[in-house]
Amino acid sequence: MRALSMTDALVVAEWLNAAKGTKARTHVLGIRTHLEYLREMADTGRAGEPEFRLRHNHVNELLSHYTFHPILSYDLPSGVWRYNAVPKNARGRTVEVTHQGVTVEVNEGAAAAALARLAARGELRKVRLCEWCKENYRVSERDMDRFCSDHCRNADYQARPSFKASRKRIQKDWRVRESERNAEALARARAKSKGRK
Low-confidence residues in the chain, pLDDT < 70: 1-5, 90-92, 163, 195-197
Q: What's the pLDDT at 105?
A: 82
pLDDT, position 41: 94
* Extents of the domains making up the chain: 2-149, 160-196
Residue 90 has a pLDDT of 66
Segment 17-74, tens digit of pLDDT: 999 999 999 999 999 999 999 999 999 999 999 999 999 999 999 998 888 888 888 8
Quick one: pLDDT at residue 1?
Answer: 43
Phi, psi values for residue 64, rounded to 5°: -70, -10
DSSP-assigned states of every residue in 82-108: EEEEEESS--S--EEEEETTEEEEE-H
